[in-house]
């Protein structure tokens, strides 16, 4: 008797296909095809693929998904694997890191960060900061700040002296003008964030913990 390479389990969220992670990929594809064509399922079901400790490229994942969705009554909602590549891990790590830049971002210079960035120094007019996460400037922010470059809507922009020409969060842009008296009057103690309606808003620094409680990585303060 040949070893079972595909195990089907029913859960609350639908079916789970647990695929063997020790056999050859070709063998697995073979058996998965057979298993799927057996039928015996009524109506539409959500299916999760559990790969175990097998690493699959996106092309291979797509192949498995087309096989499973082939008969038409199964829909793959999730592909789960216990392993990721070192590169993927590095990207995740960099995105969650906070970089520090000490110096002045001058006119015409662009400072890039994958995750959060702390700038100890000024950002002069025409200087630009681009960050995947939040931007914290310990100095005068007089240039352009773009937080949440790749779609992080939770990102905020903080500066000791908040006087930028342009504020960008995710894909929203705001040109600072004299028509924003709140920013002008409170330049020393405010930050920019995306509010619930998706617009850029400004609030006193003391409100960060209410508006973005998840930014805090430390609990308490005894």
Partner 1 sequence: MGEAIVITSGKGGVGKTTTTANLGTALALQGKKVCLIDTDIGLRNLDLVLGLDNRIIYDLVDVVEGRCKIHQALVKDKRVDEKLFLLPAAQTTDKNAVTPEQMKSLVDELKREYDYVLIDCPAGIEQGYKNAVAGADRAIVVTTPEISAVRDADRIIGLLEQEEIEPPKLIINRIRRDLMKNGDTLDINEITAHLSIDLLGIIIDSEDVISSSNRGEPIVMDPNNKASLGYRNIARRILGESVPLMALEDHTKGMFKKLISIFSK
Span interacting with partner 1, options 5-13, 100-108, 199-207, 212-220, rule CB under 8 A: 100-108
* Token pair in block for residue 115: 């995750």
Span interacting with partner 1, options 48-56, 105-113, 153-161, 211-219, rule CB under 8 A: 105-113
What's the first-to-final CA gap in the chain, in angstroms?
64
Q: Is 123 left (phi over 0), alpha (psi -120 to 50) or beta?
A: beta
Among 52, 70, 71, 108, binds partner 1 (CB under 8 A): 108
- Identify whether the C-beta of residue 140 lies closer than 8 Å to the C-beta of residue 160: yes
List all residues 6 or more positions away from 14 whose beta carbon is below 8 Å from its beta carbon. 45, 46, 47, 48, 77
**Shortest distance in whole angstroms from residue 51 CB to partner 1:** 47
Span interacting with partner 1, options 45-53, 83-91, 104-112, 152-160, rule CB under 8 A: 104-112
* 104 near partner 1, rule: CB under 8 A: yes
Judged by CB, which is closer to partner 1: 107, or 206?
107
CA atoms lying within 13 Å on the CB side of residue 186: 14
Residues 128-167, one symbol each (x = binds partner 1 by CB under 8 A, - = not), give ----------------------------------------
- Euclidean distance between CA atoms 187 and 71, whole angstroms: 61
Judged by CB, which is closer to partner 1: 127, or 164?
127
| Max CA pair span of the chain | 79
Judged by CB, which is closer to partner 1: 123, or 147?
123
> Where along the sequence are the contacts to partner 1 (CB under 8 A)?
103-104, 106-109, 122, 124-127
């Amino acid at each position: 008797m040949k070893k079972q390479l595909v195990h089907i389990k029913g859960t609350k969220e639908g079916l789970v296909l647990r695929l063997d992670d020790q056999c050859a990929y070709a063998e697995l594809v073979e058996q998965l095809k057979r298993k799927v064509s057996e039928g015996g399922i009524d109506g539409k079901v959500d299916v999760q693929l559990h790969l175990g400790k097998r690493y699959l490229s996106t092309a291979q994942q797509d192949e498995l998904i087309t096989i499973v969705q082939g008969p038409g009554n199964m829909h793959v909602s999730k592909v789960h694997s216990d392993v990721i590549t070192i590169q993927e891990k590095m990207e995740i790590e960099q995105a969650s890191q906070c970089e520090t830049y000490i110096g002045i971002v001058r006119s015409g210079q662009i400072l890039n960060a994958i995750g959060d960035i702390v700038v100890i120094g000024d950002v002069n007019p025409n200087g630009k900061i681009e960050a995947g996460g939040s931007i914290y400037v310990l100095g005068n922010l007089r240039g352009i700040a773009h937080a949440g470059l790749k779609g992080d809507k939770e990102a905020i922009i903080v500066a000791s002296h908040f006087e930028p020409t342009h504020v960008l969060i995710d894909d929203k842009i705001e040109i600072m003008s004299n028509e924003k008296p709140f920013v002008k009057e409170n330049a020393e103690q405010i930050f920019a964030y995306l509010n619930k309606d998706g617009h850029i808003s400004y609030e006193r620094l003391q409100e960060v913990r209410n508006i973005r409680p998840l930014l805090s990585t430390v609990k308490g303060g005894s």
